[in-house]
Amino acid sequence: MTELIIPAIVSCFVAFFLVFVMTPPLIKFLEKRNMVVKDMNKKEDVMVARPGGLALIVGIIASEMILYAFLQMNEILAIIITTSAAFAIGYVDDRKVMGGWFKPVALALAAIPIIALGAYNSDLAFPIFGVVQIPVLYLALIIFMIPITGNTINSIDVLNGVASGFMVIASFSLSICLFIVQNYEIAIVSLPLGFISLAFYKYHKIPSKIFPGDSGALTLGAMYGAIAIVGGVEIIAAVALLPAVINSFLFLSSVKKIVEHRQIKGKPVDHTDDFRLRATSDKSAPITLVRLILAGGPLSEKQVGYAIFKLAIFSGILAIITAFLMGVTF
Amino acid sequence: MKSNLYGFLFGMWILILLGGGIMVTILGPFTIQQFGEFHWMLASGIKVLIALVLVVIWILILLKLKNWIFRKEIKF
């Protein structure tokens, strides 16, 4: 355990520092090339640089390579390859509008390195009841997990700072859970994700100077999913991600098909005269987490963001309770 | 509204715990011995089928739970 302290400190420092230092020049670079989009929740015409995924993937690769140099684990290689593939998929989607099925199918392929490198344990651990051995079914779970976590984080990237802030809470909760279940090496491997998200949040928080884009959101989500698989904490990871899962569930159950957000015609949320967010009564619009939060009345973008963070903290606590319950059997 | 969201989160968590219990108690011990070398393949196939049925049931329960918790709010 003590031999892991130095790699942990070095990788976390590199992860945070690289993203923190790289993002401002990336913003300037994107603005120079007119790679900006309108912030739809601002009264004035505010243009924001996008995508910020490049800073995130550089931070992830550098910090995880440092950990690989110390620990020489296939699990780290699997995380790096899967996350890099997710970044590439997201970047393609940032540059060119792809169909609704592109991301889920491509992200399923991005999960293959985890299987190829054997960086998984096919025993699925549940709290209280114990472990179930499902060797064939588990392969399907791996293939489904990366598209689900990737798209789930992508779907919650709707307001300034929400995707990165949510990821800070979810990933640190997951790291704590990995320590609780005594999977110390993967706990250390998971820490850079929290620090990368934290550094990016500095520029993504309201008022955003940069948006992660699909490349950033898929990078964060895919890395989270990959950590859950290689760490054998799939159920705990799902619990920590519940608010984002609810968002996807509400969306899919109201739209009833896999479709890109931009293809939806109805608007779930619009603005009041003072530009606060307000739930619409449009029956053709999807039900989303933000729309449900706003059902009680209009709120500012910042207030909605904080409401989502509180839900993330609540599910993070449930995840930690779940981790403690992993050791409990009746 | 926000308290309803916390209730829905908690409900999902309970469903995950219960779903885990069913997975471990039903899928875990399930084996087939009378098909020679291919028994594990058949057992895996049946396990996949049971898991899919459980997932569908889980989603249906979740939909009911959603409609019940948010019955006042979802008038969109």
Per-residue pLDDT reduced to its tens digit, A168-200: 999 999 999 999 999 999 999 999 999 999 999
Residue A270: CB atoms within 10 A of its CB come to 13
> Domain for residue B23, yes or no?
yes
Number of domains in chain B: 1
Position B76 scores a pLDDT of 54
Chain B's closest residue to A314, CA to CA, is: B6
pLDDT of residue A329: 55
Q: Is the residue at B76 inside a domain?
A: no
Residue B75: inside a domain, yes or no? no
CB pairs under 8 A between A and B: 102
pLDDT (tens digit per residue) in A294-307: 988 899 999 999 99
Q: How far is A42 from chain B (nearest CA, A)?
A: 24
pLDDT given at position A84: 97
- Give the per-residue pLDDT at A125: 85
Average pLDDT over every residue of B13-42: 78
User: Does pLDDT of B34 surpass 70?
Assistant: no
pLDDT for res A190: 97
State what percent of residues in chain A have pLDDT above 70.
Answer: 96
Any idea which of A68-77, A124-133, A172-181, A217-226 has the lowest mean pLDDT? A124-133
Once rounded to an integer, what is the mean pLDDT over residues A309-321? 97
Average the pLDDT over each of A31-40, A266-275, A297-306 and give the range with the smallest value: A266-275
Question: What pLDDT score was predicted for residue A260?
Answer: 62
Asked if the model's pLDDT at residue A204 lies above 60, the reply is yes
In a domain, B55, yes or no: yes
| Residue A3 confidence (pLDDT) | 82
Residue B20 placed within a domain: yes
Give pLDDT, residue B1. Answer: 58
The pLDDT score that the predictor gives to residue A209 is 96
Please answer yes or no on whether B12 and A245 come within 8 Å at the CB atom.
Answer: yes
B66 CB neighbours in chain A (<8 A) are 249-250, 253
- Write out the residue range of the structural domain in which residue B63 sits: 2-69
Mean of the pLDDT values across residues A235-244?
95
Q: What chain B residue is nearest to A283 in terms of C-alpha separation?
A: B76
Which region among A4-8, A223-227, A264-268, A280-284 has the lowest average model confidence (pLDDT)? A264-268
pLDDT at A123 over 90: no
Most confident of A19-23, A92-96, A326-330, B68-72: A19-23
Q: How confident is the model at residue A290 (pLDDT cuts 50, 70, 90)?
A: very high
Calculate mean pLDDT across residues A192-214: 97
pLDDT > 90? residue A222: yes
Residue B41 is predicted with a pLDDT of 72
Instruction: Kindly list the residues from chain B whose CB atom is less than 8 angstroms away from the CB atom of residue A285.
Output: 76
Which residue in A128, A134, A293 has the most chain B C-beta atoms within 10 A of its own C-beta, making it the best mutation to test that interface? Answer: A134
- Per-residue pLDDT for B70 more than 80? no
Residue scoring higher pLDDT (A161 or B58): A161
Q: Which of B16, B18, B55, B58 to mutate to test binding with chain A, by most A CBs within 10 Å of its CB?
A: B16
| Better-predicted residue by pLDDT, A81 or A251 | A81
- Report A:269-328 residues touching B (Cβ under 8 A): 279-283, 285, 287, 289, 291-293, 295-296, 307, 310-311, 314-315, 318, 322, 325
Average pLDDT, chain A: 91
Question: pLDDT grade, residue A25 (50/70/90)?
Answer: very high
Least CA distance to A297: which residue of chain B? B1
> Which pLDDT tens digit goes with each residue over A36-81?
999 988 888 899 999 999 999 999 999 999 999 999 999 999 999 9
Q: CA-based Rg of chain A, rounded to a whole angstrom?
A: 19
Chain A residues within 8 A of B9 when measuring between CB atoms: 242-243, 246, 311, 314-315, 318
The whole-angstrom distance between B3's CA and the closest CA on chain A is: 10
Of the pLDDT bands very low, low, confident and very high (cuts 50, 70, 90), residue B53 is confident
Tell me what the mean pLDDT of segment A71-100 comes to.
92
- A130: pLDDT strictly greater than 60: yes
- Asked if A242's CB is within 8 angstroms of B12's CB, the reply is yes
**Is A235 in contact with B74 (Cβ distance < 8 A)?**
no
Alpha carbon distance A107, A83 (integer Å)? 10
Average pLDDT value for chain B: 79
pLDDT of A281 above 80: yes
